[in-house]
Structure formats: structure tokens, C-alpha cells
A and B are shown apart, each in its own frame.
Chain A
Amino acid sequence: MSKLNLLQINDLTKKYYNKTALSNVSLNFEPGKIYGLLGPNGSGKTTLMKVVAGLHKQTSGNVLINDEELSYKTKAYVSYMPTENFMYDSFKVIDIVKFYNDMYKDFRIDYALNLINEININLNYKISNLSSGQVAKLKSVIALSRDASIYMLDEPLNGVDVLSRDAIMDIITKSNNENKVIIISTHLVSEIEKILDTVIFLKDGIVEVFGDAEELRQSRQLSVEGLYKEVFRNA
């Protein structure tokens, strides 16, 4: 299946009663690349991800995943990691793993159990008994254990200690291949930028910048973080 764009966002607008979160956003995501979705709070990054994940309905515009219109079926191709704590508190880690294994055909349970072991989380602990750092790591691991076409990670490094961030980024880069798209939204630009192929700057629901990270470095002689500070200086 060779598609030019695994994920196509066409003229997407999302309005809430007191603000417009996304304004005519059009983006194409090619397989094989890692995208950074960058911008300050309220820029629309989370809204964009939630629309693609099927949790929010857009006001206008459409989204195509593998050339299919967004529906409950396309959720099978998308692995979304929300920034919020969304896992059932009363569940043990192993219950969460079993849930994913039951609900998603593409869940790689052995891979997940391995990774959970590597990040030193006890399968029998309840989610409510994990530290926030452990929950943050577990979320990423679970999301990346799915063999999905599209991964959307909303702030995967938030709350993760400095040493574990490398581990998470490693798992992210190892997850990538020519058939997948990985979209990462984050504030920690300087840490993540070395693994990004393409960066997207979102400001007040509008795409301000879209470009190859290395080309931006070459032409502007700035790091992505430096460019970020320039673009969002007044945000």
C-alpha cells in the first residue's frame, strides 16, 4: 500500500462557543516521517489530535486516513496518547495491557510487556498507585505497542524524568518505519527536535510554519527551538 499521504487534513475548522481552536488547517502527512506539532498552549495541537482520534467532531473540513473518511473504523489505524491521565485508576497495569490486547487487533502484547519491564513498572500495581512519572512513561509505551499506521503522542515527555526521556525517544524512533507516521506534540522542543523530520508550528489554530527540520536549520541557522522562540515570541 503506497500512499502519498497516510493522513490528510483538509481545510479543518473547529469552533467552540467562545473560540476557534482550528482555522482552515490543511496538512498532509507522508508515511515514514516523524512530525513535530509545536505551539504554545491553546494553539490547537491537542484539538487537532482529538479530531483525528475521533474524540471531537470538526466544525467543517474533513480528515482522510489511508484515503478513508474519518469514522469509528479509522480508529483502528490511529494510536493516540492523550496528554491527560486517561487510564482507569482501579485497573492494574496488566489489566490495561489486557484491555488494549482485547480492543485493538494491532496490539503487540509481548512487545508491551517487554517495554513495561524495561521501564521498571510492576504489572500488578494499580494505576492509582503509580507515580506520575511512571504513568507518563506507561502511556507512551502502551500507545507505541500498537502496530498502528498513525501515532499521535500529545506531550510524551511531560512529567518524564530526564533519564527516561531518552528511553522514550528511543522507543519512538524505533517505532518508525516507511509505513507509519508519528506525530509528536510537545513544549520540550530542544530535546525532541533531533528526531523530527518535519516541524509544524501551530499558532491560534493556524499553521504558521511547515517545513523540513534540517532545511530550517540550514536556511535560518537556527535550531527549531530558536525558530520557535522567534515565531511565538509574542504568544
Chain B
Amino acid sequence: MILALVKEGDKLEFKNNVPIYLQVIEKIKQDIVSGKLKPGEKMLSSREYSNELGLNFNTIARVYKELEMEEIVFTKRGLGTFITESAEHISSLRYDMAKKQIAAFIKGMQQIGYTKEEMIRFIETENNYMERNE
């Protein structure tokens, strides 16, 4: 049972001008999609997790509630809260996150004046460059 969003000893920093519970939700989603959190994995209780993040337990209770409404986690009475096992849910989550990234990217590049073709070419060259230098 691991939910190590946070390195031991380090504390996640939160922005104060965006609802904190949304930031925690975002982080959990990222970790699910990136594989840091496995499908079906048991999460820390909201109390334990809030202690780890240094947050109010109400905030984390809200996080867990939201995630459950979105069917990204589910609760088994008396046993705890678990990441969804549905590969479908996870990939649609992944898709939603990617879509947001793309939309932001396209908007940003358009503001700099790039055309669609230029964007695609740039992605290829930049991706190759990054792979070489890993």
C-alpha cells in the first residue's frame, strides 16, 4: 500500500490561488496516468494522506469524494479507498489530460504565430532532440 506522491521528507508545494483540493486531484490523476499509482492499488486513508501532505483532513476528504464521483477511485466499506481497476477509465483519464495539454499547447503556439504544419514539425524535431539527450 503506497501512495507516495511525496518524497519522504519533502512536502508538496501548493498554489494558494487555485483550490487546493483540485491541485491534489490533479496530482493523483497524473500519478495514475504515469503509472506511479497502479490500478486497484490501495490508497492511504484520508487522515493519513492529509498528515503526509500537511493538509487539513477535510480537504483530502473532499478530494477522495470528487475522485469517487468521477469513478477514478472507489471505496470498499471497512477496507479503504482504491484506485480504479478499469483500464478504460484510466485511459480515458489519460486521454482527457492529454487533450488539455494539447489544447493549451496549440493555443500557446498560435499566440506565437505558428501554423499547424510548423507545430507538427517542431514537435518532431524537439522530441528527437530530447530523446537523444536523455
Report A's interface with B, CB cutoff 8 A: 32-34, 166, 169-170, 173-174, 176-177, 190, 193-197, 214-215, 217-218, 221-226
- 30 inter-chain pairs at a CB distance below 8 angstroms, sorted by A residue, are A166-B11, A166-B54, A169-B54, A170-B51, A170-B54, A173-B51, A173-B54, A173-B57, A174-B51, A176-B56, A177-B57, A190-B16, A193-B16, A194-B14, A194-B16, A194-B55, A195-B55, A195-B56, A196-B56, A197-B59, A214-B19, A214-B20, A214-B21, A214-B59, A214-B62, A217-B18, A221-B18, A222-B17, A223-B15, A226-B16
Partner pick for B19 among A32, A190, A196, A217, CB 8 A cutoff: A217
B58 within 8 A of A: yes
> Nearest chain-B residue to A198 (Cβ)?
B58
B50 within 8 A of A: yes
Main secondary structure of the interface of B (DSSP, over half): loop
A-B contact count, CB below 8 Å? 56
CA gap between A215 and B50 in the complex, in Å? 19
> Nearest chain-B residue to A193 (Cβ)?
B16
Cβ A221 vs Cβ B56 within 8 A: no
Cβ contacts under 8 Å, A194 to chain B = 14, 16, 20, 54-56
CA gap between A33 and B11 in the complex, in Å? 22
Cβ B17 vs Cβ A33 within 8 A: no
CA gap between A222 and B59 in the complex, in Å? 18
Cβ contacts under 8 Å, A215 to chain B = 19
CA gap between A223 and B16 in the complex, in Å? 5
Cβ B17 vs Cβ A226 within 8 A: yes
From residue 6 to 55 of chain B, which have CB atoms closer than 8 A to chain A? Answer: 11, 14-21, 50-51, 54-55
Interface-centre pick from A194, A197, A222 (highest chain B CB count, 10 A)? A194
CA gap between A118 and B19 in the complex, in Å? 32
Cβ contacts under 8 Å, B16 to chain A = 190, 193-194, 217, 223-226
